[in-house]
Chains A and B, each alone.
Chain A
């Protein structure tokens, strides 16, 4: 089993921004423990959902050749609860992307309501400053992760680089 906390991508602009959604349902066991009689989606899992959205955005920018690892949670501020039946949307944007790392900003919305602001940093671990070696195989971007992008166009890399920022 893979630890997947987004259901699918709904928008993807290569190297720039991506949006995914997650449907929250009482069929998910953790909601019965968090908390009994008051099910709300744990905030840490929403950070994970954002890490997956922004992480795949970062990975795709280099054609999934790098192993992209969450390195730092720069900011995670929550404004409201997410409950069973809600569909939440993760909007992630790349702020900086270099050979060795990336930083992203992001927001979670439920409908029009702002749920959270989450800014993250990712490391391309094969280029880590300590010179440590990792297995050749890309254990980060497995087929399960890539399947989240089925049916979504990532846009043309070259044209998106020249395009002006939409927002």
Chain B
């Protein structure tokens, strides 16, 4: 039985067109693009075509795109490049809600001579822009801020931040892994210096990512090796996956409108129905600008892993920022940063849709969720609606 897959912010199904386009590069066109012979060289031509597709999706020039192995590699490359390019600057500014690929590297750097400022978010999940501008200085080597948050889907004002930083000549990197393919991105209009994206979030396979490096940005490579990617990333190209990423970017471009109409309508329907039918629940980032496919909710007096496991019984795939699912014992850093009330902090669940999600699937989830929440609350020593009026309306 195929699952009802509502965990597309974690990863996506490889599109049929992508898989079909990739297959010849495993055993028919297996040449090395760096080779002098035509057999290898023709693979190189296809890589350039893919580079154009990636650039086309985000409004970049093809030679500003470097292929990497994943979003994490893109993030690491961008951050190391920025600090290595300005060795005298010892300050980094980022946010409290970054993906571990940025967060943990910044924490590592803070133990190794760097000062790191973390921009807080408010209850809506939006950035404290005053904190951001107040903490910029001559010593700032890099600002790294995600375009959209993976857990809540809240979109940050990257255009505005990029303009501010451009005026002050501070290098700006954005982790756009969740934003690419879901909202329009045009780097001709948004002056970010570096941008990370990942293939497997947009129906390409795992193991392929890309980093946009604006022409003129000082750059030092992360993987030092051969002359591949014009010396910006050593290592023989993952040819089949690069071809796949190119196709996926073309598809994403075609689906962008659908994502912001059909998918958004389905997400809104799910959100409205769950809020209507289930008491003591909140939508994280409800009043913020959000990705059209993401719904992050918290339910009072129950725990997220239990919800997930119940959903799993109905073959519904979702995820949770709750402690018990992450292997840690505290709720996700994103929900904590937003100050979600402690009565609901452990009961989080994230549904993330794709253009493949159907109305029937959403209706099935709407049918099952209220009973699941009710059943778990019956088990909870804290659930007594008459004695526990929700504190959430104050929040």
Are A and B co-members of a single complex? no
**Chain A residues in contact with chain B, CB under 8 A?**
none
**Chain B residues in contact with chain A, CB under 8 A?**
none
